[in-house]
Amino acid sequence: MIVRRTFRTWMFIASVALPIWPLVGWGIFGGGGWEFLGLVVAMPILFVVLLAVSALIAVRPSVRREKAVAWWDVAVLTLWHALIIGFGLFGPNTSTFAVLGVLVGIAAFWYVVWAFFKDAAKRARETLAEFEQMATAPTQRRVPQSGPGGENVIIVQENPQDDHR
């Protein structure tokens, strides 16, 4: 539970920190001018996508209720973040990290969209079941009735299912 709750906070920090890392890595490990120009264009896009994925995870009903992300979220985010960090090292496999990072980023986005709608549909079914249960539960009402010695109160128990027969 601690790991899942930590990732709930980390994913927003990573939205800012991870796009900065390749710029820092470019300065430390060296890179050409064209690479820097590519980073200047790509890193704001990465920031927006990381933030969108984090927001979709955070607004999911189960994440809000538990205050922790799911284990699948942890796995997807760990892989994606590791690829972004690997890309920022600017070694011989930079292109491989870049391509895999883009592919995993696209997969992560569609995974969180799917998980959001799946979780929202589950919550809607639970809410509908609660409403149906409330609608079929018997209700009580008080009917005042005057008698010879004063006021008597009769409790009438109604069942909504009897109305349909």
Pairwise CA distance, residues 121 & 115, whole Å:
10
Tell me, what's the pLDDT at 35?
Answer: 86
Cβ burial, residue 53 (10 Å; 0-12/13-18/19+): buried
10-residue mean pLDDT profile of the chain (165 residues): values are 92 96 90 86 96 95 92 96 94 92 96 94 88 73 58 61 54
Domain boundaries, the chain: 2-133, 139-164
Residue with tokens 């927003």: 12
For residue range 27-46, what is the model confidence (pLDDT) as tens digits?
Answer: 898 777 888 899 999 999 99
Q: Are 28 and 88 in contact (CB under 8 A)?
A: no
pTM: 0.76
* Residue count (the chain): 165
The span from the CA of 40 to the CA of 138, in Å, is 65
